[in-house]
Amino acid sequence: MSYREERRADQAAERADNREDRRLLLEAQLKAKEIDAENRRRDSDAKAELVRRDAAEKRRLKQAERKARESAREAKKAASAVKRAKVVGWLRTNPATLFVAFVMVASIVPAVISQVGALSGAGVFGPMAGLLAAMLEGGAWAITFMGKQAEDAGRETRKYRAATWLTACVAAAVNLWHGLEQYAAHPWVAFVLAGSSLFAIYVWDMKTHGSHGRTKAEKKEQAAREKHAADRRKHHKDIAREADRLLSAMPYGSITEEEAFAAAWRIHRGAEPGMSAELYATATNSRVQLGAAFELGEHVRPELLRTGLLASALNPLPDAMPTLGRVTPLTALRAPEQGAGAVPIGMEKPQVESQVPPASKTPSKTRAKAAGGTPVPPRRRKGDTPSFHPAARVAAAETARRAVTARAS
C-alpha cells in the first residue's frame, strides 16, 4: 500500500474516531439531560406530594376544628337543655315554693318601704332609717333561717320560732302606727301594712312546717300502733313487764321492743308469740273430736246426707247460715263407691286415736313368737282418749237404735 493510501486510511480512521467521539459525547450529553430532567421531575413530584400532604393536613385540621366546634356547640346546647329541663322539672314539682317566694317578696318589700317612711317621717336620717328598717325585717328573717338550720340539725326550734314571731310583731306594730298616722282616712291600709310584716313569716312557717308534717295515713298508722301497744300491755301484763325488764337489762339499742316482747313470750309461754300450750291443746282436742265425728259418721252416711238435704231445703237464710250450701255438686251427695272408708270430698280423714285399737294383720301367736315371749295386752287409762263430740254421741245412739230395730224385725 502506498503512502497516500495509508494517509487516506489514517485520515478515514481518524474521522471515524472523531465521529464516534462526537456520538458518544452527544449520547453522554443526552443521558445527562435525561438524568437532569428525571431529577427535576422527581423534585417536582416530591414538591407536589409535599404540597398535597400539606393541603390534606390543613383540610384535616380544619375538619377536626369544625367538628370540635360543632361538638362544643352541641354539648353547650345539651347542657342548656339539661338546665332548662331541671328548672322546668323543679317548677312543675315545686310550684308552691315558687309562689311562696313570690308572695314573700311581695310582702317584705312593702313592709321595708313602710318602715323606712315611718322612720324618715319621724326625723330619722335617711340611711339610718334604711338600716333600722333592715334590722327589723332582716332580723326576723335571720332568726327564721337560724331556726331552719337548727331544725335540719335535729335541734329544738321553739325558741327560734318564738323570737321570729316576736320580731315580726314589733315590725308590724311600727307599720301599723305609721299607717294609722299616714292614712288616717283609710285605717284599713294600716292593717294591711302591718300584715305585710307578718304574712311572709306566716307563709314561710306554713311552707317549712305545715307541708312536711305527717300524712293522714301516717297518723292513722301511728294511732293503730299506739292502740296495739296499749292492748298488748292490757291483755298480756306479765309478758309486757318481762319485756320491760329485758329492755332495761340489755345494753341500750341492742334489741327492739318487738324482740324483747317475743323473747318474754317464749320465756313464759314456751311457744312462738301468739301461741301457747293451752291453744295447742285446744286445737288438738278440736281436731280429735272432729275426726271422731267423721269416723262415726261413716256408719250413718245415708241418714246424714238426708238430714243435710232437708236442712238445706228448709234453711230460711241460705246465704247467712249455709248448711251444705246451694252450690254443693250432686257428686258430693252420692254414696261412696269405695266402701264406707271413703273420705268426703274436700275433707281429709284425720289420723286420730280410736276408741278401740285396730286389729293387727299379724296373728297373736306370730307376734308372741316375734317378741320372744307372751304379749302384754294394752291397758286403758282414764282420760287417755278425747271424749266424743255431742253430735257424735247422737249419731252413735241413732245407729244403735237402728241396729236394734233391724235385729227385732
Q: Pick from 398, 393, 392: which is nearest to 290 by CA? A: 392
Is residue 62 predicted with pLDDT exceeding 80? yes
DSSP designation for 215: -
- DSSP one-letter code for 212: G
What range defines the domain where residue 46 resides? 1-93
Residue 16 lies in a domain: yes
**Whether residue 302 sits in one domain with residue 267:** no
What is the predicted pLDDT for the residue at 230? 92
Amino acid identity at 185: A
Q: Look at residue 374 and tell me if it is in a domain.
A: no
Is residue 139 within 8 Å of 167, Cβ to Cβ? yes
Identify whether residues 36 and 72 lie together within a single domain: yes
Which of 182, 212, 242 is at the close of a domain? 212
Asked if residue 325 and residue 247 are part of one domain, the reply reads no
Q: Does any domain span residue 266?
A: yes
**pLDDT tens by residue, 317-326:** 555 544 444 4
Residues 306 and 335 in one domain: yes
Q: CA–CA distance from 228 to each of 74, 223, 264, 360 (Å)?
A: 61, 8, 17, 54
Split into its structural domains, the chain has a count of: 4
Among candidate residues 189, 212, 235, the one where a domain is terminated: 212
Could you say which of 35, 60, 93 is where a domain stops? Answer: 93
Q: 59 and 17 in one domain?
A: yes
- Whether the per-residue pLDDT at 111 is higher than 80: the answer is yes
DSSP letter at 315 equals -
Question: 323 and 335: one domain?
Answer: yes
pTM above 0.85, yes or no: no
Please check whether residues 400 and 342 belong to one and the same domain: yes
Set of cell numbers at residue 212: 312536711
CA 408 to CA 305: how far, in whole Å?
Answer: 25
Closest CA to 137 of 110, 168, 165, 166: 168
pLDDT digit string, tens, across residues 364-404: 444 444 445 455 555 656 666 666 556 666 666 667 766 76
297 and 391 fall within a common domain: yes
With b for 16 or more beta-carbon neighbours within 10 A and e for fewer, the 134-151 pattern comes to eebbebbbebbeebeeeb
Cell of 306: 238426708
Q: Is 188 within a domain?
A: yes
The position carrying cell 337543655 is 81
Determine, yes or no, domain membership for 338. yes
> Which alpha helices (H) appear in 94-157, and where do they start and end?
95-121, 126-152
Is 99 found in the same domain as 80?
no
Does the pLDDT of residue 212 top 80, yes or no? no
Q: State the residue for C-alpha cell 302591718.
A: 194
Which of helix, strand or coil describes residue 37?
Answer: helix
Q: pLDDT for 256-309, tens place per residue?
A: 999 999 999 999 888 888 888 888 888 888 888 877 777 766 665 666 666 666
Alpha-helix residue ranges (DSSP H) falling in 153-256: 158-182, 187-208, 216-235, 237-249
Q: Are residues 287 and 324 in the same domain?
A: yes
Same-domain check for residues 350 and 307? yes
Task: Please spell the DSSP secondary structure of 227-251, one letter per residue.
Answer: HHHHHHHHH-HHHHHHHHHHHHHSP
CB atoms within 10 A of CB 167: 22
| Distance from C-alpha of 338 to C-alpha of 329, rounded to nearest angstrom | 19
**Please, what's the largest Cα pairwise distance for the chain?**
190
User: Does residue 302 fall inside a structural domain?
Assistant: yes
pLDDT at position 70: 92
The answer to whether residue 380 sits within a structural domain is no
Q: How far apart are CA 286 and CA 289, in angstroms?
A: 5
